[in-house]
Every structure is written in structure tokens, then in C-alpha cells.
Amino acid sequence: MSAMVDTAPAHPVAPARDEGRASAPWALAAPALMLFLGVLVIPLAMTVLLSFHDWGQYKGIEPVLILKNWHEIATDPYYLEMFGRTFRIALLTTLITAVLGAPEAYILNRMAGPWKSFFLLVILGPLLISVVARTLGWALLFGGNNGLVNKLLMSLGLIDAPLPFMFTETGVVVALAHVMMPFMVLSVWAALQRLDPQIENAATSLGAGSFTIMRRIIMPQIMPGVLAGAIIVFSLSASAFATPAIIGGRRLKVAATLAYDEFLNTLNWPLGAAVAVLLLVALVLIVVGSNALIERRYAEVFR
């Protein structure tokens, strides 16, 4: 569309031919647009509409337009706490993946040939396994008295009671960080690929030590990669379902698990829709906002 607008003034003559051509992009894009409309826009619009409907234990869903659900979310502190928890978990997960993932990618990048491919496989391997299986692994290690690690530590006498992991925020964050790590490592890895291989030698020859090189030369250059990874990890963590559902369970609800429960257990679809829409809007705002900030910060240097 923008191409059409841009070229129109450039060709003031032969409008007939231009008109014929102008419709071509629309015709060509039609199949994709239909799909986009059918599977994304329409369901989304219906969900938004649903969030304004009424619901009662006995009357079910009433197709009216009221602000009841939104009012409930805005006034009941339960929702504030729940959304607070969701974004706290997402933020902590993002921090952990950044702090661990960036050095991981750097070390990986410096490894010699065969080791590099091996460890890359180790890091990316989990992507091939279902999130459920990976999360259940954590539950097996730390789940209550029967968790493998807890059993070991208790029999060694290092701890008296099992480490609290299941149904705790810490547990959810740790398991999510594990699940999300590949996205951060890949993102930083891509940034490292763009680094000049001689750049560290150049800094060394100017008298910089390895700590200074890391802080002044490497870090600023891979920062866009870290931030891009952070956006991916943050939005995936905030909307994650499987891991919070298994580790957090019913006691520790986040936005995704709450929406799920409203839809399938309470059957209060309108409230569930309101929670889902709010999560979506918040995420879009956060992602678009931080992306704009990053673009502005790095436009000068990397474009």
C-alpha cells in the first residue's frame, strides 16, 4: 500500500495504466489477507466483543454491551495482584535469561569447531522437546518430598524440609527461564555473528584489558541482540501457559492460567475474554513501546 502511495505522484501521466496496476497488489495479497482476517482479526474482534457481554451462574452468556467484567477487573485487587505476578514473573525470567544467556552465547561463540556445534545442540535441544515434558522434569526434581533433588539433599542432611519449588513464584521463574533460554541465546548469538573478528585484537592493541573490552566494546555491540531477545522472552513468558499451569497450579495463577480457568472451569467466558484482552493489550503496549525506545537508541549506530 505504501508503495502505491509513494509512486503515484512520480507518474502523473498514463493514469489508466497505473490504475490497472494499482489493483494488482491487492489481488495478489488477497489470499493472505483473507487468512489473516479469518483466523486472527475476526476471532480477536469476537473476543473483544465477548469481554463486554454479561454472564450469570444460571443465565449463561447474555449478548449485551456492559462494562461489568472490566469494572470487576479494575476494582477487585485480586486481578491487580494476578497481573502484577504475571509481569513480575516475566520480568524476572527475562533478567535471568539475559544474565545467563548472553555470556552463554559469548562463550559458545568462542568455542572451537566441533565443541561449538555440540554445545549449540545442547542449548537448542530443549526446543525439540515439549514444554510440558521439560517442565515436568523440574517437577520431578523438586516436587515436594518425592522430588529427586529434595530427597538427596534431605538424606544428606543438608536441609530438613523439602525446598519449596512447586506452587512458588521462584519455581515458575526458574522453569520458565529454562524454557526461554534458547530464544535469548539465539538472539545474542545472531548479534555476535555481526561482530568483527578482529575487534577484540584492535581493542587489546590500544591497551584495553579483557574486562574493559567486555564492558566497553563487546557489551554495547551485543546489547541490541540482548534487548531483542528480552522482548521475545518477556512476551512469551507473560503469555506462557504450560509452565505456570504445571508449576504454579491453581494456587499461583497468572493471566494465561486464569483466563483458561474462567473459560473452562467457571465457564465465565466474558470475564476470561476480558483478562485475555487486557493481557494482549498490555503486552502489545510494552513490546511496541520498548521496541521504539530501542530503535531510537540504536538507529544512529546500527542502521
| Grid cell digits, residue 159 | 536441609
Question: Which residues within the stretch 209-248 sit at the binding site for other proteins (CB under 8 A)?
Answer: 209, 212, 216-217, 220-221
Q: Quick one: cell of 158? A: 543438608
CB of 122 to other proteins, least distance (A): 27
Count of residues near other proteins by CB under 8 A = 22
The only residue of 206, 281, 285, 288 in contact with other proteins, by rule CB under 8 A: 206
Q: Which stretch binds other proteins (CB under 8 A): 18-26, 75-83, 110-118, 204-212?
A: 204-212
Residue from the set 207, 211, 251, 296 that interacts with other proteins by CB under 8 A: 207
- Kindly tell me which residue out of 168, 204, 235, 290 binds other proteins, with binding defined by CB under 8 A: 204
CB count, 10 Å around CB of 301?
Answer: 10
Residue 293 sits in the site that holds other proteins (CB under 8 A): no
Instruction: Decide whether 36 or 302 has the Cβ nearer to other proteins.
Output: 302
**Neighbouring residues of 104: CB distance < 8 A, sequence distance ≥ 6:** 123, 181, 185
By the 8 A CB rule, do 190 and 106 touch? Answer: no
| Shortest separation between residue 225's beta carbon and other proteins, angstroms | 13
160 binds other proteins (CB under 8 A): no
Burial pattern 167-193, b for ≥16 Cβ within 10 A else e, equals: ebbebbbbbbbbbbbbbbbbbbbebbe
Among 42, 199, 292, 293, indicate the residue that binds other proteins (CB under 8 A): 199
The one segment of 36-44, 172-180, 184-192, 202-210 that binds other proteins by CB under 8 A: 202-210
112 binds other proteins (CB under 8 A): no
190 binds other proteins (CB under 8 A): no
Among 3, 156, 196, 251, binds other proteins (CB under 8 A): 196
Distance (Å) of CA 121 to CA 96, 117, 185, 228, 230: 21, 6, 12, 22, 21
Burial of 13 (0-12, 13-18, 19+ CB in 10 A): exposed
Whose grid coordinates read 450469570? 56
Q: Is 295 in the site for other proteins (CB under 8 A)?
A: no
Q: Does 148 bind other proteins (CB under 8 A)?
A: no
Give contact residues for other proteins (rule: CB under 8 A): 196-199, 201-209, 212, 216-217, 220-221, 300-303
